[in-house]
Chain A
Amino acid sequence: MDRRLTNQIRTLRFLAGEMSQAELGEKIGVTRQTVAAIEAGKYSPSLETAFRIAEVFGKPLEEVFSWNASPPP
């Protein structure tokens, strides 16, 4: 079965007072475009960056990222 990494970053940014992608990028050491690519599922971050993102939102890693079956085409 095809599986892919999904994330809740958009929701968590909203809950963190509409934190911008640039702000999040600055906190974790990547560019705004890379945050946008992670959010859109176009780039799977390194484990270190994934942990940094979870740390920024004060959530465990599995609440930010999940490993799901792809929706059927």
Chain B
Amino acid sequence: MSYREKFAWLCLVAMLIAYTPYFVHAHLNPPPEGTLPDLSHMARFGLTAAAHAIMVLIGLAYLRFAARGEGPLKPDERDRAIDRRSMQVGYWLLMIGLVVVGVISPFTESGWTLVNGALFFLVLSETARSLVAVWSYRRGWHG
């Protein structure tokens, strides 16, 4: 498994571990409407983002340590092709999220629903990007 494939796995796993509990909790216990900012909810999001960052940083440090002596870690043409494909998928999901949260939802929703909706689409697009990268490394790339 190449360094870049391992990194794609790291991003995918860290994103799922960090943000799944946050969104499940936000869905089951939605913050009361009209309480923006809600400090406890903001703190929960802050902890989630920090946990995600720490997981990625530790994982990255480990991957770099494990890859020492493997030569330069520059992406080659296959890495770039996979990156282009996964970025495209992430971009389209982000655009869909922008339309849903920024254009449609404000007519019916407000407050934390919009904030969490925007965060959800950010996380979803990044997760999809990593998922497509992992899939492309595993199953092959013929584009």
Residues of A within 8 A of B (CB): 26, 29-34, 37, 40-46, 49
Contact of B141 among A30, A32, A43, A49 (CB under 8 A): A43
Q: Which of B106-143 contact A (CB under 8 A)?
A: 139-142
List the count of A-B residue pairs having beta carbons below 8 Å apart. 38
Residues from chain A with a CB closer than 8 A to the CB of B2 are: 31-34
- Which residue of the partner chain B has the closest CB to A29? B76
Contact of B77 among A33, A40, A42, A46 (CB under 8 A): A46
Judge whether B76 and A42 touch: CB under 8 Å.
no
Chain B CB count within 10 A is highest, among A31, A33, A34, for: A31
Residues from chain B with a CB closer than 8 A to the CB of A41 are: 140
Given contacts A31-B2, A33-B5, contact A45 B139 (CB under 8 A): no
Task: Verify if B25 is at the interface (C-beta below 8 Å from A).
Answer: no
Residues of B within 8 A of A (CB): 1-2, 5, 71, 76-79, 81, 139-142
- Which residue of the partner chain B has the closest CB to A36? B2
Q: What 3 A-B pairs are tightest by C-beta distance, nearest first? A: A42-B140, A33-B2, A30-B76
Contact of A34 among B71, B78, B139 (CB under 8 A): B78
Q: List 22 A-B contacts (CB under 8 A).
A: A29-B76, A30-B76, A31-B76, A31-B79, A33-B1, A33-B5, A33-B78, A34-B76, A34-B77, A34-B79, A37-B140, A37-B141, A40-B140, A42-B139, A42-B140, A42-B141, A43-B81, A43-B140, A43-B142, A44-B141, A46-B77, A49-B77
Closest chain-B Cβ to A32's Cβ sits at a distance in Å of: 8
- Which residue of the partner chain A has the closest CB to B78? A34
Residues from chain A with a CB closer than 8 A to the CB of B142 are: 43-44
Closest chain-B Cβ to A41's Cβ sits at a distance in Å of: 7
Closest chain-B Cβ to A13's Cβ sits at a distance in Å of: 18
A32 to B4, CA, bound (A): 12
Judge whether A30 and B140 touch: CB under 8 Å.
no
A43 to B5, CA, bound (A): 14
Closest chain-A Cβ to B132's Cβ sits at a distance in Å of: 15
